[in-house]
Structure 1
Amino acid sequence: MPGFESISDQKQPIRILTSLFQKGAVPHALLFTGIEGVGKKNCAIAFAMLCNCLEKRHITGDQAGADFSALSDGSFINPCGSCRSCRKIESANHPDIILIKPVGAFMRIEQIRNLGDIIAMKPYEAKMRMVIISDAQCMTPEAGNALLKSLEEPPERTIFILTANQISDLIPTIVSRCRHIRFNPIPLTSITEMLVAKFLLDPESSKVIASLANGSFSKALKMGANNRVNWINHRKWLLNDVARKCFTGEPSDAVAEPYGLIFALSNKLSGNKELLFESLEMIKTWLRDIAIYKYSPDKVVNADMIKSIRSASEKISIKSINSKVNAIHKAQKNIQANANLRTTLDVLMLRLAGA
């Protein structure tokens, strides 16, 4: 499906974009924020198609849903998907649709300087040149400052679209020069239905994977495609091991297990890099459940592990949970920056254990 029709459960962002286009009020810089895998990049590409489509077509309000309404007749504008411009953009062959993404863990100043050389020239054929900067939170400070110059004096017929996880990941001066559009996590039911339809998984397994994906289509697709992994059993093993070896008491408590047993867990995790990031996300979700249980037990994600969650919730404070979640965030960033994997995981396990 071309354009916005391929983007699931993001009616509000699409309504805003189509309204801006219809009114001729598209700003020179847009910032799309939201967790990974909710359609930010795809929406940026669809909007580039819309702004340069040679045909365009209306989708009725009944087809699109009431929240899409951007035109007076209750419809919204969608790119045709079949004209020369749309086909080029969809196949990533349009010379004026420029995608910048991190090289490795960072987006460096050389990439932004090269971009500056390109946009200094007029667009080749596009009505509106689009510069899509994916994962803008990965820009180095030098790259961010270099981009700021282009945002302050945008070239003619050029629109910047930045995607990032959250506003706080970017320098405030960049945020202040962009129109912010927030993308919400994908609902659990939508991800579950997708997994059942695409991978023919049973509803129970699909719901577990959807919960672990935490609102991200891309994570759910990755997990669903990896059929050789029994995610339900892997999750239970991991969380039971964390609960047993990394005691969820206060930081001042003594470690419940000898260091050797704690490090055995980090050894297992470091030995399976393919599942490492999903495993760390599982631990974060479990810690979130421990916090949520204190106030809304019915809203925990790992509902089949409610007994261990209740037990842990009685032993750990919100402050300690936050400290442990922050430790996981720090470990994830260090791993992305190519820090020593085993050392990073050893330190993380000690922090989870309260050591």
Structure 2
Amino acid sequence: MNNWNDWIEAQPQVVPMLVESIKKQRLAHAYLFDGQAGSGTMELAILLSKSFMCQEKQGANPCLTCLDCTRIDSGNHPDLHKIAPDGQSIKREQVDYLQKEFSYRGVESRQKVYIVSDADKMTGTAANTLLKFLEEPQGETLAILLTEQVENVLPTIRSRAQHIRFHPPLKEEIVKQLMENGIDQKHSSFLAELTENKEAALRLTEDDWSFQARGVVLQLMHELYTRPDQAIITLAEKWLPLMKERIHQEMGLEMMTLWLRDLLYIRVGKQGELVYSDFYESYKELSLSTSQRLITLSLAKVMEAKSQLSANVAVQLVMERLLFTIQEG
């Protein structure tokens, strides 16, 4: 998607705001793009960089053919700098290097842009160093900070950048993108509901993990409501060996949440919104032996289990407690 019109449906509030600022030449010196993976924060940061630097733009749209645009597309524009975490964090040395680069005169143009990915992962010294840079911009400088966890960005940095909140990606668009990657519609819809972004969804398809996990969760939850003694065995023999990584454990719990939500939808007559639509007949049968109140309580227990995982409680203990409490009602 190469122009602003391409993004209007995905980000109907963000795009008009930026387009108007570009047309009126009233761009802020710093922006904080706040959005989850897949929402287009990096793509729009690049597009904004082109509109800022392009000398041949038409309205707000960059021409895409001038030297500035083509060098940005190729990733080697000398006046566009990107910073990303070096390991687990962005370090002061990276910001110091950025400041040094910006002390030189623009090579290709008068403007300079820097994009900071995962701005919430700056060390304290890096954040304070960047803060001074934000307070004293040199020449025609545009700073674009990207984050998925805006609450972890230094408050003084947030106050010196224009905060723009991005909508989560549209599930229909994620489904379309996943199908273009060769994933069938049923599983694409499931992954879109589970992850809410294409990149995370594609990672889950590696080694067929998501396909296996879906089947294990369906088996585990059905047994929990029909043969609880067998559910404990399935947990030990299938769920735990498959969910070794923390991200997989969290996804497994999210799959359980979706399963319980489907069961709740059956109880309240929303059959058209099922994630596990192929499980419809089993849901109908199970819904006869449980209540809306108990399903809601079970959903709350899964949320509690997620919190326990975040607190580093052993996953086996978390899951055994969860199954027991759901079984007991």
TM-score grouping bracket, smaller chain normalisation = 0.7 to 0.9
Structure 1 counterpart of 2:314: 347
Aligned with residue 108 of structure 1, among 84, 91, 96: 91
Structure 1 counterpart of 2:190: 208
Q: Is the alpha carbon distance of 1:38 and 1:280 closer, same or farther for their aligned partners in structure 2, counting shifts above 3 Å?
A: same
Q: Is the alpha carbon distance of 1:21 and 1:106 closer, same or farther for their aligned partners in structure 2, counting shifts above 3 Å?
A: same
Structure 2 counterpart of 1:14: 15
| Mapped contact 2:120–2:153 kept (Cα < 8 A) | yes
Aligned with residue 106 of structure 2, among 123, 126, 130: 123
Structure 1 counterpart of 2:256: 286
Q: Report the TM-score, using the length of structure 2 for normalisation.
A: 0.77
Structure 2 counterpart of 1:88: 71
Q: Report the TM-score, using the length of structure 1 for normalisation.
A: 0.72
Output the CA distance in 2 between the equivalents of 1:238 and 1:54.
Answer: 55
Structure 2 counterpart of 1:237: 216
| Mapped contact 1:287–1:325 kept (Cα < 8 A) | no
Output the CA distance in 1 between the equivalents of 2:157 and 2:134.
Answer: 8
Aligned with residue 146 of structure 1, among 129, 132, 138: 129
Structure 1 position 46 matched with structure 2 position 47:
yes
Output the CA distance in 2 between the equivalents of 1:297 and 1:142.
Answer: 55
Matches within 5 A, 1:1-355: 1-4=1-4, 7=7, 9-58=10-59, 77-196=60-179, 198-214=180-196, 216-222=197-203, 226=206, 229=208, 231-238=210-217, 240-241=219-220, 257=232, 262=236, 265-270=239-244, 277=247, 280-287=250-257, 290=260, 298=270, 301-302=275-276, 304=278, 307=283, 314=294, 316=297, 320-328=301-309, 330=310, 347-354=314-321
Query: Partner of 2:56: helix, strand, or coil?
Result: coil
| Mapped contact 1:2–1:80 kept (Cα < 8 A) | no
* Structure index of larger Rg: 2
Write out per-residue CA displacement over residues 273-300 of structure 1, whole angstroms, 9 at most, x where no aligned residue: 6xx6356334235336647976988456
1:107 Cα deviation after fit: 1.5
**What is the one-letter code of the residue matched to 2:2?**
P
Write out per-residue CA displacement over residues 65-118 of structure 1, whole angstroms, 9 at most, x where no aligned residue: xxxxxxxxxxxx211111111010011100111110012222222212222222
Structure 2 counterpart of 1:61: none
Gaps in structure 2 of 5+ consecutive residues = 225-230, 323-329
Query: Partner of 1:154: helix, strand, or coil?
Result: coil
Output the CA distance in 1 between the equivalents of 2:18 and 2:151.
Answer: 23
1:178 Cα deviation after fit: 1.1
| Mapped contact 2:68–2:108 kept (Cα < 8 A) | no
| Mapped contact 1:99–1:133 kept (Cα < 8 A) | yes
| Mapped contact 1:286–1:302 kept (Cα < 8 A) | no
| Mapped contact 2:54–2:68 kept (Cα < 8 A) | yes
Output the CA distance in 1 between the equivalents of 2:219 and 2:190.
Answer: 16
Q: Is the alpha carbon distance of 1:79 and 1:151 closer, same or farther for their aligned partners in structure 2, counting shifts above 3 Å?
A: same
Q: Is the alpha carbon distance of 1:154 and 1:262 closer, same or farther for their aligned partners in structure 2, counting shifts above 3 Å?
A: farther
| Mapped contact 2:50–2:72 kept (Cα < 8 A) | yes
Write out per-residue CA displacement over residues 318-338 of structure 1, whole angstroms, 9 at most, x where no aligned residue: 66444323344x37xxxxxxx
Output the CA distance in 1 between the equivalents of 2:20 and 2:109.
Answer: 21
Gaps in structure 1 of 5+ consecutive residues = 59-76, 246-255, 332-343
Q: Is the alpha carbon distance of 1:84 and 1:297 closer, same or farther for their aligned partners in structure 2, counting shifts above 3 Å?
A: farther
Q: Is the alpha carbon distance of 1:289 and 1:29 closer, same or farther for their aligned partners in structure 2, counting shifts above 3 Å?
A: farther
| Mapped contact 1:290–1:313 kept (Cα < 8 A) | no
1:236 Cα deviation after fit: 2.6
Query: Partner of 1:14: helix, strand, or coil?
Result: helix
More deviation in 283-292 or 177-186? 283-292
Q: Is the alpha carbon distance of 1:29 and 1:285 closer, same or farther for their aligned partners in structure 2, counting shifts above 3 Å?
A: farther
**What is the one-letter code of the residue matched to 1:187?**
L
Structure 1 counterpart of 2:228: none
Q: Is the alpha carbon distance of 1:291 and 1:207 closer, same or farther for their aligned partners in structure 2, counting shifts above 3 Å?
A: closer
1:21 Cα deviation after fit: 1.1
Query: Partner of 1:32: helix, strand, or coil?
Result: strand
Indicate the structure with greater helix content.
2
Count of residues paired in the alignment: 304
**What is the one-letter code of the residue matched to 2:315?**
L
| Mapped contact 1:263–1:349 kept (Cα < 8 A) | no
Query: Partner of 2:188: helix, strand, or coil?
Result: helix
Identity of aligned residues (%): 27
Structure 1 counterpart of 2:227: none
1:172 Cα deviation after fit: 1.4
Output the CA distance in 1 between the equivalents of 2:81 and 2:189.
Answer: 37
